[in-house]
Amino acid sequence: MKDNRTAAVTKQMFKRLSFRPPAEMIAGESVPMWRDVLRRLVSNKLAMAGVVFLVLLAVMAIIGPIISPHDYFTNNLDRTNEPPSSEYWFGTDSLGRDLFSRIWMGARISLIVGLAAAVIDLVVGVIYGGIMGFVGGRTDEVMNKASEILYSIPYLLVVILLLVVLEPSMWTIILALSVTGWINMSWIVRGQILQLKNQEYVLAARSLGASGSRILFKHLIPNTLGPIIVTLTLTVPSAIFSEAFLSFLGLGVQSPAASWGTMINDALASWTLYPWQMLFPALLISLTMLAFNVFGDGLRDAFDPKLKK
């Protein structure tokens, strides 16, 4: 470096260059923000392992019961409590039902509950929170109080109350979820929007004459997407776990339908003798929770602008 500075300088180099104001160039290719987020997510190995697991789970939930040679509900009292074998891949339960089919049927129920929770969160939570934050004032106060009152009712109590009028089933659980499951999301969206609506780009849009709905749907909600998605990765596993837990207690899915919760309950009595009956559903619940957690963490990191540079 030093040499090149002093040694190579010759007189000819001291000719004045004609000055052109530098072009306002920007180096590098254009990267939209979402692609940036995606790239950071993909580079996070743990999060990607979570994604791969969840995709596999979804695929198996669809094809698992189909590829199995046995259905999930037929009792076969000759073949009860069998260990995993080439015929019954995950073994059978105390009624001789095929555990492989039942596991993936359970996965179906878990994913449907998770999906329902996500839809409720997105539709009710985001809209409710969006209105609270955007309209503000008296409306916000009343809606916020209402959500606080709803939040104070324990979820278990809601389910039990619903059971007074309804049969216990997956749908009861989803109904109970739609009563209280979206409140956290609505608070998060409300907080974000309260913060964003005083941002100068929102003021700019207002000064240009943008309508309320344009501001809400073009400016506010898209910029809340990060926290919304991260919140979803928390709501969904907690809904899945609630379903398994309630089914375990007998308040949810009923036999012969298969849920991971009921399967664990069925296996509880004799788990020392037939540990695989407990092992498969327990393992799947744990792995599903873990997968959502690492995926959620990865998403949060990917969205966090502080880690950007």
Partner 1 sequence: MSVSTVTKTENGFRPTGASGGPLLEVDRLSKFFPVGGGQTLKAVNDLSLTVAKGETLGVVGESGCGKSTAGRTIMRLYEPTAGETRFEGRNIYKLKGAELKKLRREMAMIFQDPYASLNPRFNITDIIAEPLDIHGIAGSSKERKRKVEELLELVGLRPEHANRYPHEFSGGQRQRIGIARALAVRPKFIVCDEPISALDVSIQAQVVNLLQELQKSLGLTYLFIAHDLSMVKHISDRVAVMYLGKMVELAESSELYANPKHPYTQALLSAIPIPDPQIEAQKERIVLSGDLPSPINPPSGCPFRTRCPHATEKCAAEAPEFREVKDGHWAACHYA
Partner 2 sequence: MEPILRVNDLHVSFRARGGEVQAVRGVNFEVKKGEAIAIVGESGSGKSVTAQSIMRLLPSPPSFVKQGTIEFMGRNLLELSEQEMESVRGKDIGMIFQDPMTSLNPTMTIGHQITEGLIKHQGMDRKAARERALELLRLVGIPNPDTRFGQYPHNFSGGMRQRAMIAIALSCNPALLIADEPTTALDVTIQAQILRLMKDLQERFGTSIILITHDLGVVADMCDRVIVMYGGQVVETGSKWDIFRHPQHPYTRGLLRSMPRLDQPKGEPLIPIHGTPPDLLVPPQGCAFCARCEEAMEVCVDHDPELAPVGGEGQTAKCWLHHPFAKEVQA
Residue 92, SS3?
strand
Residue-wise burial string across 194-210, b where 16 or more C-beta atoms lie within 10 A, e elsewhere? bebbeeeebeebeeeee
Q: Which is nearer to partner 1, 119 or 194 (CB)?
A: 194
- Tokens 């999301």 locate to 185
**Measured between alpha carbons, how far is 91 from 102 in angstroms, rounded to an integer?**
11
Residue among 115, 156, 210, 290 that touches partner 1 (CB under 8 A)? 210
Residue among 9, 201, 283, 304 that touches partner 1 (CB under 8 A)? 201
By rule CB under 8 A, what string of x and - marks binding of each residue 181-200 to partner 1? ------------------xx
Bond from prior residue into 22 cis (ω within 30 degrees of 0): no
Residues 9-48 that bind partner 1 (CB under 8 A): 23-26, 28, 30-34
By rule CB under 8 A, what string of x and - marks binding of each residue 223-242 to partner 1? x-------------------
Is 79 a binding residue for partner 1 by CB under 8 A? The answer is: no
Q: How far is the CB of 179 from partner 2 (least distance, A)?
A: 40
- Asked if 85 contacts 91 with a C-beta cutoff of 8 angstroms, the reply is yes
- Asked if 266 contacts 25 with a C-beta cutoff of 8 angstroms, the reply is no
- Tokens 């400016």 locate to 219
Q: How far is the CB of 226 from partner 1 (least distance, A)?
A: 10
Residue-wise burial string across 105-119, b where 16 or more C-beta atoms lie within 10 A, e elsewhere? bbbbbbbbbbebbbe
Q: Which is nearer to partner 1, 223 or 254 (CB)?
A: 223
Is 307 a binding residue for partner 1 by CB under 8 A? The answer is: no
Q: Which is nearer to partner 1, 45 or 308 (CB)?
A: 308
- Asked if 290 contacts 24 with a C-beta cutoff of 8 angstroms, the reply is no
Q: How far is the CB of 24 from partner 1 (least distance, A)?
A: 6
**Measured between alpha carbons, how far is 215 from 299 in angstroms, rounded to an integer?**
26
Q: How far is the CB of 131 from partner 1 (least distance, A)?
A: 21
For residue 53, the number of C-alpha atoms closer than 13 Å in the C-beta half-sphere is: 19
Residues 20-49 that bind partner 2 (CB under 8 A): 21-22, 24, 27
User: Which residues make up the interface to partner 2 (CB under 8 A)?
Assistant: 1, 4-6, 8-17, 19, 21-22, 24, 27, 308-309
User: Which residues make up the interface to partner 1 (CB under 8 A)?
Assistant: 23-26, 28, 30-34, 199-201, 203-211, 214, 218-219, 222-223
